[in-house]
């Protein structure tokens, strides 16, 4: 790092260091957002899996179990066949609704990446309140001391 004549870093070095630190801050905020989104994505995947299970069960089990249950109601309880099929269809639909409700409940628990949002807002607030570096005075030290008294 080059320095000015008085041993302090030059303006170019300070700007370079500031831009490097801003870059590091941005990378850290992106990493934080990724970690929060990853945990939300896992919860989202589980809820999508429940939606898929609900759909597959409703679709594939409906013909098999509806016929079995309807004929069981008809044979053992002497319920008319049409009513037995209606009862069976209603039970299968109820099961699909419960699975869908569970999936929707899990989806509502998903949250935005709160820490990353807060960190980004804090960084924006700091940058908004940042003031430029004061320029060095050209007047002699003795004159400044007299003015400050």
pLDDT tens digits for range 44-56: 888 999 999 998 9
Can you tell me the distance from the alpha carbon of 97 to that of 46, in angstroms, rounded to the nearest whole number?
17
Tokens of 58: 């409703």
> How far is the C-alpha of 93 from the C-alpha of 35, rounded, in Å?
38
pLDDT band at 25 (very low <50, low <70, confident <90, very high): confident
Q: What distance in Å separates the CA atoms of residue 54 and residue 57, rounded to the nearest whole number?
A: 5
**What domain range is 72 assigned to?**
12-123
Domain count for the chain: 1
pTM of the complete model beyond 0.75: no
Is pLDDT at 67 greater than 80 in this prediction? yes
The pLDDT score that the predictor gives to residue 82 is: 92
Phi, psi of 40 (to 5 degrees): -70, -35
**Does any domain span residue 149?**
no
Q: In whole numbers, what is the pLDDT of the chain averaged over residues?
A: 81
In a domain, 138, yes or no: no
Q: Are 96 and 57 in contact (CB under 8 A)?
A: yes
**Are residues 19 and 103 in contact, defined by beta-carbon separation less than 8 angstroms?**
no
């Amino acid at each position: 790092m080059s320095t000015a004549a008085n041993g302090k870093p030059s303006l170019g070095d300070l700007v370079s260091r500031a831009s490097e630190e801003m870059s590091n801050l941005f990378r850290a905020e992106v990493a934080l957002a990724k970690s929060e989104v990853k945990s939300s994505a896992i919860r989202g995947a589980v809820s999508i899996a429940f939606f898929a299970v609900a759909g597959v069960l409703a679709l594939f089990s409906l013909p098999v179990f509806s016929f079995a249950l309807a004929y069981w109601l008809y044979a053992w309880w002497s319920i008319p066949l049409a009513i037995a099929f209606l009862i069976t269809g209603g039970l299968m639909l109820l099961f699909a609704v419960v699975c869908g409700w569970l999936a929707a409940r899990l989806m509502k628990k998903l949250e935005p990446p709160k820490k990353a949002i807060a960190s980004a807002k804090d960084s924006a607030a700091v940058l908004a309140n940042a003031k430029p570096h004061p320029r060095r005075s050209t007047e002699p030290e003795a004159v400044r001391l007299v003015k400050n008294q």
